[in-house]
């Protein structure tokens, strides 16, 4: 069956450090992968989309990599700030063409 796996344990880091979150998937052959941010009690907010032919994509302090051989995407936030504290979700379109989300990883950035 298709699975999207993200570390369910919270990631705690110090302000100013780089946060790295992982998304692994099985039984998908995605043309692209998306990352969203979700704050408590709010809807997901789109951050970045990376296509299968792109190794890396950047947006301000965010960087996403996509390794279709390893079936993995890494999401980096450089110079992290307490305001970056949230849950980060990766999402893939599955065989039924539905956008499916991973369980998310909660990031806590301490001042």
Interaction of residue 111 with other proteins, rule CB under 8 A: no
- Contact positions with other proteins (CB under 8 A) in 55-94: 89, 93
Which one, 45 or 79, has the nearer CB to other proteins? 45
Interaction of residue 53 with other proteins, rule CB under 8 A: no
Which one, 64 or 89, has the nearer CB to other proteins? 89
CA proximity to 62, closest of 80, 42, 86, 89: 80
Take residue 13 and report the two structure tokens written for it.
């880091």
Residue 99: how many CB atoms within 10 A of its CB?
10
CA proximity to 38, closest of 30, 26, 46: 46
* CB 31, CB 52: distance < 8 Å: yes
Provide the CA 21 distance to its chain's centre, in angstroms.
Answer: 6
Which of 46, 55, 70, 82 binds other proteins (CB under 8 A)? It is: 46
Which one, 26 or 46, has the nearer CB to other proteins? 46
Shortest CB 46 distance to other proteins, Å = 5
Binding site for other proteins (CB under 8 A): 32, 34, 38, 41-46, 49, 89, 93, 96-104
């Amino acid at each position: 069956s298709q699975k999207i796996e993200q570390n369910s344990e919270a990631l705690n880091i110090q302000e100013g450090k780089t946060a790295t979150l992982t998304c692994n998937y099985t039984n998908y052959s995605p043309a692209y992968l998306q990352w969203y941010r979700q704050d408590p009690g709010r809807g997901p907010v789109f951050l970045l989309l990376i296509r299968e032919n792109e190794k890396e994509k950047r947006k301000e302090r965010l960087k996403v990599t996509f390794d279709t051989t390893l079936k993995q995407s890494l999401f980096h936030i450089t110079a992290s700030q307490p305001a970056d504290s949230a849950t980060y979700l990766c999402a893939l379109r599955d065989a039924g063409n539905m956008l499916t989300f991973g369980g998310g990883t909660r990031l806590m950035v301490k001042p």
